[in-house]
Amino acid sequence: MNHDLSERMRQVVAELEALGVPHRDPELAAVSMALLIEDVFGVLLSDSDITPDLGSAPEGLHRIFDRLPGRL
C-alpha cells in the first residue's frame, strides 16, 4: 500500500476517534464506518469485513487497513 494512503487512513481514524460520537447500535456504527471507508478510500469491503468492532473500536479499523495492500 502506498505509505501516504496508509498514513491518511490512520489520520482519518484518529479524527473520528477525536469526535467521540458513539452510535448506540454497534451494527449501525459498523455499517456507517464501512460506508465511510468505501466512499473516502474507494475500497470495497465484503460482508465479512463489516463486524461490530469496525464501528466501535480502533482495532476494527486497523484490522481492515492492515489487510488493504492486497485489495487496492
Domain boundaries, the chain: 3-70
b/e map of 39-67 (b: 16 or more CB within 10 Å)? eebebebeeebbbeebbbeeebbeebbee
Residue 54: the pLDDT is 80
* pLDDT average, residue stretch 62-67: 75
pLDDT at 42 > cutoff 70: yes
Residue 39: the pLDDT is 84
pTM as predicted:
0.62
Residue 47's pLDDT band, with cuts at 50, 70 and 90, is very high
Q: State how far the Cα of 41 lies from the Cα of 44, in Å rounded to an integer.
A: 9
Residue 20: the pLDDT is 66
Residue 71: the pLDDT is 45
